[in-house]
């Protein structure tokens, strides 16, 4: 199958999922074309069957905002036409579902029919998508997609309750690639971070307000009063300067390391005792799944789809959003009970295996087939129109 994947190329979860999915599809023999404004962060090496089409936006004095949607649409039209794509899979509704709809209309006017699948990732619905300034366009574009998937049951429900959606939404969970995410021995790294046997807590995110990193820091401060510990904060984003200031004000700076954006996140997770993710909203929590695959129990809020990933009292603990006391108590419960921590480590791994890519990938392939089968008669049309 020839598949076009549109996503954000940044370190955000939706771009990571889209890229890993594309690479896995390519490894199975599909031809995958990534179409975005920059090389996706996880597209690091040459791979057979993988193509990258960069969308260039022209600056022009009239534009305060360069119209990326327009240039992306034109690029989609070209790539679908000349690479003879069978389907477009767009990740994150804004603006990708809308752009795909427009490209599809333009192509249809030339007699080329291509199905569009939109995968909803979270904030495209729960944060900005349901804002009045976006909602009508987002709802329309989702309804116009030929197939729609959501990364958790919670997100599926939220989408139907927050927007006027009359499409069936299929839940296909995010996945983990165990060939990359599994616990490895990084004792030298642990010694460098925690030379006196301190416990290591890790948080990774894109440092936006919705991640509530101040709760991570407040939780850590309570833990630190009871046991020697270190906190590793991985990632970068708008909240980082505020969080650095908070650490300085709380006198925590020598116990907290801001590591910035990291590619080899599995090496950091390899030395972690706990992963902490207290988000206000979280449709799935891919970062938590990555931690669990590396045998790290998860201390999280009960927001969104997190309870579908982190099982309370089994793989970690869930607290109400903003309940720092509870987050700290749960952290200490595990960190002060080595046997319990070990059991939770094993449980986290067992739960992560439910999301193994080898199990989730066929679900996407089956869904593609289902949507494509509705297009079978028109799909021939393109091959007739465009000579090989
Ligand atoms: O919030 C992020 O970390 C980025 C955001 C994105 O779309 O890039 O992540 C969303 O998609 C991820 C992949 O499906 C999910 O694991 C995250 O839970 C989701 N984030 C939120 O819902 C806040």
Q: In the chain, where are the structural domains located?
A: 2-175+356-385, 187-353
* Beta strands, E only, 116-220: 116-120, 147-150, 169-171, 199-204
Secondary structure percentages of the chain, helix, strand, coil, to 5 = 45, 15, 35
Which residues make Cβ contacts (< 8 Å) with residue 209, sequence separation at least 6?
A: 238, 239, 280
Which atom, in ligand 1's list, is nearest to the CA of 210? 23
Cβ < 6 A, ligand 1 pocket = 12-15, 17, 92, 121-123, 151, 174, 205-206, 210, 281-286, 304
CATH fold, domain 187-353, is: Rossmann fold (3.40.50)
CA 377 / ligand 1 centre spacing (Å): 36
From 157, 283, 298, 304, mutation site for ligand 1 pocket: most ligand atoms within 8 A of C-beta:
283
d(CA 49, CA 46): 9
d(CA 101, CA 78): 15
d(CA 106, CA 116): 13
CA 264 / ligand 1 centre spacing (Å): 19
CA 120 / ligand 1 centre spacing (Å): 10
d(CA 327, CA 91): 32
Which long-range contacts does 42-48 make (Cβ < 8 Å, 24+ apart)? 42/15, 42/16, 43/9, 43/19, 44/263, 47/23
Could you tell me how many residues make up the chain? 388
CA 158 / ligand 1 centre spacing (Å): 14
d(CA 346, CA 274): 13
Please give the chain's pLDDT, 388 residues, in tens: 999 999 999 868 899 999 999 999 999 999 999 999 999 988 888 899 999 999 998 888 888 888 999 999 999 999 999 999 999 999 999 999 999 999 999 999 999 999 999 999 998 888 887 788 999 999 999 999 999 999 999 999 999 999 999 999 999 999 999 998 888 888 888 999 999 999 999 999 999 999 999 999 999 999 999 999 999 999 999 999 999 999 999 999 999 999 999 988 999 999 999 999 999 999 999 999 999 999 999 999 999 999 999 999 999 999 999 999 999 999 999 999 999 999 999 999 999 999 999 999 999 999 999 999 987 655 544 555 454 4
CA 122 / ligand 1 centre spacing (Å): 6
Which atom, in ligand 1's list, is nearest to the CA of 126? 22
Thinking of the domain 2-175+356-385, which architecture would CATH place it in?
3-Layer(aba) Sandwich (3.40)
Question: Is 187-353 in the same CATH topology as 2-175+356-385?
Answer: yes
d(CA 301, CA 323): 8
Which residues make Cβ contacts (< 8 Å) with residue 51, sequence separation at least 6?
A: 31, 32, 33, 34, 83
């Amino acid at each position: 199958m020839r598949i076009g994947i549109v996503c954000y190329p940044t370190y955000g979860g939706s771009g990571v999922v889209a890229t890993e999915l594309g690479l896995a599809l390519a490894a199975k023999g599909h031809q995958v074309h990534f179409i975005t404004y920059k090389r996706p962060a996880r597209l690091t090496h040459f791979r057979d069957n993988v193509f990258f089409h960069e969308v260039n936006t022209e600056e022009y004095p009239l534009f305060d905002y360069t119209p990326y949607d327009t240039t992306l649409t034109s690029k989609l039209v070209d790539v679908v036409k000349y690479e003879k794509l069978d389907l477009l899979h767009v990740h994150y509704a804004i603006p990708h579902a809308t752009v795909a709809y427009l490209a599809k209309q333009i192509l249809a006017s030339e007699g080329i029919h291509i199905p569009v699948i939109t995968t909803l990732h979270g904030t495209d619905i729960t944060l900005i998508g349901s804002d009045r300034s976006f909602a009508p366009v987002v709802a329309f574009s989702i309804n116009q997609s030929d197939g729609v998937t959501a990364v958790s049951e919670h997100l599926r429900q939220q989408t139907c309750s927050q927007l006027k959606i009359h499409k069936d939404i299929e839940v296909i969970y995010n996945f983990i690639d165990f060939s990359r995410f599994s616990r490895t021995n990084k004792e030298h790294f642990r010694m460098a971070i925690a030379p006196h046997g301190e416990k290591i807590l890790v948080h990774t995110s894109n440092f936006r307000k919705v991640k509530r990193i101040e709760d991570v820091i407040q939780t850590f401060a309570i833990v630190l009063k009871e046991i020697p510990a270190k906190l590793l904060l991985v990632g970068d984003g708008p909240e980082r300067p505020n969080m650095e200031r908070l650490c300085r004000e709380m006198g925590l700076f020598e116990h907290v390391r801001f590591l910035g954006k990291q590619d080899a996140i599995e090496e950091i997770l390899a030395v972690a005792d706990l992963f902490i993710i207290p988000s206000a909203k979280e449709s799935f929590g891919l970062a938590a799944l990555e931690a669990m695959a590396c045998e790290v129990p998860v201390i999280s809020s009960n927001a969104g789809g997190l309870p579908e990933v982190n099982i309370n009292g089994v793989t970690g603990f869930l607290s109400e959003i903003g309940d720092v006391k509870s987050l700290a108590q749960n952290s200490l419960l595990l960190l002060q009970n080595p046997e319990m921590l070990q059991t939770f480590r094993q449980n986290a791994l067992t739960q992560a295996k439910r999301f193994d890519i080898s199990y989730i990938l066929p679900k996407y392939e089956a869904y593609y087939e289902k949507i494509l089968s509705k297009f079978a008669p028109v799909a021939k049309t393109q091959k007739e129109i465009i000579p090989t």
